[in-house]
Homo-oligomer: A and B are copies of this chain.
Amino acid sequence: MYKIAVDAMGGDDAPTTVVSGVESARDKLPNVEFVLFGKLDQVKPLIKDMTRISLVQADDAIAMADEPVKSVRTRKNSSLVMAANAVKHGEADALFSAGNTGALLAAGIFLVGRIKGISRPALMTLLPAMGGEHDAFVMMDVGANADNRANHLYEYGVLGSFYAHEILHYDQPRVGLLNNGGEEDKGDQMHKDAHQLLKAGHAKHLVNFVGNVEAANILQGPADVVVSDGFTGNATLKAIEGTAKTVMKTLKHSLSNGGIRAKMGAGLLLPTLKDIAHQWNPEQYGGAVVLGVKAPVVKAHGSASAEAISATMVQIESMLSSDLINKVETFVAEHKNDLAARIDSQE
C-alpha cells in the first residue's frame, strides 16, 4: 500500500476539486491511501466516502501569490509544509499539490530533500510529439532554476531518461540539448560545455545523447528527453503553450465572425476541433514533476480539473510502483564521479 500526502488547499478552487480528484483516483487505485492536509471544516464535508482517505488539520494555507521559499521556511502549519514533512518523516511516500509551484518546488528541495549526488532538482513536464515514434516527450528544466551550470543539464539528461524509460516505457530514450543551432559549438559557453558533458556521457553509455535540438521543431519529437536550462526551458514551454492557445483562440474568433459559411463549416468541424484541443491540453499528460528529490513530488495545474488531478495520482502511483526514485538513487551513487564531471571552461 502506497501513501500520497495531498495538499488539499492548493489550486484555484481548492479544496473542492482536489477532494473530488482524490476520490476518483482512490476508486481507480486500490493500492493507494491518501492523506489530505487542510482546513478540515472545509475539507471534510466534501468527502463522500472515507475509504483509504485520512485527514490532518492544517491551520494555514500558502496562496498562489505568496513568496515561495520564505513561505515554506516559516509557515510550518500550512497544508503544503505539513504534507511535505509527512514525506520527509516517512509517513507518506509522495507529495501532491495543485497550488503555488515555487512553494512546492521549495518544499520538495528543502523538506523532501535532494537525492545525494544530484545538485539541482528540476521541474519536468511532458509535451506532445507530433509525428515522432512516441506521442509525448519529457522536457526539463521548465523553471526550477534561473541560473544553471553545464553539469546540471547533464544531470537532467540522466533524470529525464529514467522518467522516460521507467514511466513512459521508452526504450533507450533519445536525449537532446535545447540550443540555438544544431552544431556542437552553438550557444553560450554553458551550452557548449553541456553539449560536451552529454557527449562524454553518451560515450560511456550513461545517456543516449542525440545532439542539439531547436525550439522550432521540438514538437516534432526529435528527442524523447529535451534538456534545457531553467530560464530558457521556462520561456520555451510558455511560448509553446501561449502560441497554441492564441492560434486556437484566433481560429475560434474567426469562425464565429466569419459569416454563415464559416459558421456552417465550424459546426461540421466541431468534433475535429475538440480532438485538436484535447491533443494540446497539457493536462492529459499528467502533472509537472520535481525530479531529483527523494520522493515523487508532483504538481497539477492550478486550474486542473478533478479528472486531471485523478490522472496525476495515477502518474504518482506509477512512479511509486516502478520504484523510480530508488533506481535513480542507485544509478547516481554508482556513477557519482561521472556525474560530478566538470570541463575546463566551467568555474
On whether A264 and B258 interact (CB within 8 A), knowing A235-B232, A240-B243, the answer reads no
| Minimum Cβ distance to chain B for residue A116 (Å) | 26
Question: Cβ of A188 < 8 Å from any Cβ of B?
Answer: yes
CB contacts under 8 Å to B, within A211-263, are 214-220, 230-232, 234-244, 246-251, 254-255, 258, 261-262
Please tell me if the beta carbons of B250 and A130 are within 8 angstroms of each other in the complex. Answer: yes
Chain B residues positioned under 8 Å from A197 (CB to CB):
none
Q: Are B265 and A242 in contact (CB under 8 A)?
A: no
* CB of A322 closer than 8 Å to a CB of B: no
A269 close to B (CB within 8 Å): yes
Closest Cβ of chain B: how far from A41's Cβ, in Å? 33
Stretch in A22-30, A45-53, A270-278, A334-342 touching the partner: A270-278
A1 at the interface (CB under 8 A from B): no
A125 to B234, CA, bound (A): 21
Known: A249-B130, A269-B262, A276-B251. A146 touches B187 (CB 8 A): yes
CA distance A102 to B251 in the complex (A): 35
Confirm or deny: A346 has a beta carbon within 8 angstroms of a beta carbon on chain B: no
Q: Given A254-B272, A269-B266, A217–B235 Cβ distance below 8 Å?
A: no
- CB distance A258 to B272 under 8 Å? yes
When A220-B246, A246-B130, A262-B272 are in contact, do A215 and B188 touch as well, CB less than 8 Å?
Answer: no
User: Which residues on the B side are within 8 Å of A238 (C-beta)?
Assistant: 214-216
CB neighbours (8 Å) of A280 from chain B are 247
For the complex with contacts A180-B235, A215-B235, 16 further pairs of A-B residues with Cβ separation under 8 Å are A130-B249, A146-B180, A146-B186, A146-B191, A147-B188, A214-B238, A220-B246, A231-B232, A232-B235, A244-B247, A247-B276, A251-B272, A254-B275, A261-B271, A265-B266, A269-B269
Chain A interface (Cβ < 8 Å from any Cβ of B): 130, 143, 146-147, 178, 180, 186-189, 191, 214-220, 230-232, 234-244, 246-251, 254-255, 258, 261-262, 264-269, 271-272, 275-276, 279-280
A–B pairs, 20, beta carbons within 8 Å: A130-B246, A143-B180, A146-B191, A178-B235, A180-B230, A180-B234, A180-B235, A187-B231, A217-B242, A219-B242, A232-B235, A235-B239, A250-B276, A258-B269, A262-B271, A264-B268, A265-B265, A265-B268, A268-B268, A269-B269
